[in-house]
Chain A
């Protein structure tokens, strides 16, 4: 599994990482910012 630097950095910090695709629908995702990094791909 290869990951980019942004993901690698978050993983080193022991954070959960969520990688999502950008979506036309307006989704509200609530999560604890100190434990989770959300990356949105466009």
Chain B
């Protein structure tokens, strides 16, 4: 079974998109993965002033090129890492492939999304993968980060003070 369910957009990115500060797109590719494969790909913007914020991956069904049979195996998969995402292994198994993979990872020219594909089977496997992302200028991305930090800091104030009055006093002290 391929990925199922809607692709969900994280709220701050949706707001940035609605405000016209981000452009949506996806990169869909078909992969033919020969036996013995061990290859590392790096994916990101070509331009210095752009940030791609990946928010989901979706997978088609991996199949054996020789027979057309569906493949479920932990002998083929990929290591991947990115900003805000530690290196980890994703085999071609239903708990990975049957979901819309939540994958919030910004990629820049100097720090691209990295994926190492490994095929330890005897099969030539083919499958399609879509990377869902927003493209922002670096300036707008940094402004979005500031907005999110400001939002978190505001709610930290509510956590620190017991009442709205105490929070208001603290805010007034801050802006004096």
Q: Mark A residues whose CB is within 8 Å of B.
A: 1, 3, 7, 10-11, 14-21, 23-32, 35-36
Contacts and interface: CB of A to CB of B under 8 A. Distances in A.
B103 to A, nearest CB: 16
A16 to B, nearest CB: 6
Q: Main SS of chain A's interface residues? A: mixed
Contacts of B27: 20, 23, 25, 27
A18 B112 contact: no
Given A25-B25, A28-B109, A35-B39, A17 B32 contact: yes
Contact of A32 (B23, B39, B47): B39
A26 B126 CA distance: 25
B91 interface: no
Interface residues of B, number: 32
B19 interface: no
7 contacts: A16-B32, A17-B32, A19-B30, A26-B45, A30-B41, A31-B40, A35-B39
B37 interface: yes
